[in-house]
Structure 1
């Protein structure tokens, strides 16, 4: 067909295919959690297994039936065969270690959580080991289990000695690697004006609410009553440990500065630092310690692995970090702290 001389117009399209930028590798926290829990479980079972081997070596030195339970005065009031007693101890260790390891795998987003759960797993195995050795050790050379005596200081040792391997294993769990972000803080996140040329921006101290104090005092008082009732002053180690635990987990200093957020116990441990370049955003949420975390103090949410420093019901600072991690801290002025942290995070962006 002949052209009529009119110019021909052609629409030209050029398709540009741009290769997507590689996404940042997600933090493989689950793999880290599994490794930490496997190491802890292996250590716990090694301790319990060694105790079982020692118990078998003592078999000829023990009564036909061994004392398996003592009353409040330290007098045996129940017996069972050695095999059954060892089996019960092993089942106890298996149940406790697998339960706590499962929690660690499910909620171990943070290194602090993995360390805590690894320590608890090892303590559980050590508890089973010391319980078995102490209970059978006081019966060696006896023909009648009713003659066995279990002094209070040995009961305290059963609880405290397993802390040694637990602390060692917890300390060996690696810290989280740095995971800075360059993504801007969302525009809808609250901000607060930062003073220029200053290091410390804001600092406050937080303490327990009424509910936490009542629970802590009740637990310590109950332990004292038990120690007095059985006439074993060694058991006062238990309330003393409870008081130390309360001091470590119910009083904190919260500090916001150019480096980010630091939450530190009055005893120095536990503590956590959220670097400014790892803060995704900070907001205010309402928290009920018992309903949301199952209690007061330094807690871990099993559903999403968030760490909580929750001492009372009310407003709390929620800090979202890279890697899907979250930190919740109950504060009187949570809104101001959230605004400061978002502004600090803005400054930390390149």
Structure 2
């Protein structure tokens, strides 16, 4: 079967939104299908967002492949008679983040009108799709709430789970992801002020801008946490990531209302490491069960510190929680064979 994979991207930015497309291409090829992948630029700017969306809509790909699989907004506006969505998030500032501290937009008549028009345009592409999959229950819920569209959850695996392995349980908590305000590494830095164990924290990842890592470093200096916190604000290679996860006691991932469990969470679980997260982390809660394969606390530095001390300071607990990770992923059917079966059904 011939597949065309299409998604948007922000120029010069790599992340989970591009990885899911590239990894699906590799797996479809492994299963004997023909695949072409298209990434089209899209910047979430009110100045020209609808012009960009129109350019997507004008592309008729009807005769290019047997099936089109679309991912990030607004790739679902591309035209094809057998269009499948593996929908991973909305333009969130106008949907679930509207009215929150993470929105960045004022609630004005102009912005409300823009939001309404965006939803109307999105509904065109969403409702003409032959199948709609999502990457999490929370994204399926948002589609149902905002667009009245039903969908099936299809959890995205990592490309090569064998890359992640367990070696030791050193008293280190690692957080490997982009350093951005909504990923909330600041909660972890603040938590280290209150830890009583010998735990250390390693934050690793690249930022869209240098301002957030600078704030984190200033917090470390202000609170004299240099011996407890290490910040690696740069691109982390896959090999380095694997090594960090192999030797830590647990991984932490505390995003605000994440679209899915996030690759950092399942990478840690493949390495047999517990995941520390918070009650408002969104899709991460579909993977992490409190006291089973990690800990879930309120987004409060003192409560996070207590969880860190518990996993580091309780003999055998890190191993006990970590060993539940692969079982939990099996329960959720997080594997490529299942993904390919559903997309080719």
Q: What TM-score comes out, normalization by structure 2 length?
A: 0.27
Higher RCO by CA contacts (8 Å cutoff, separation 6 or greater): 1
Structure index of larger Rg: 1
Q: What TM-score comes out, normalization by structure 1 length?
A: 0.27
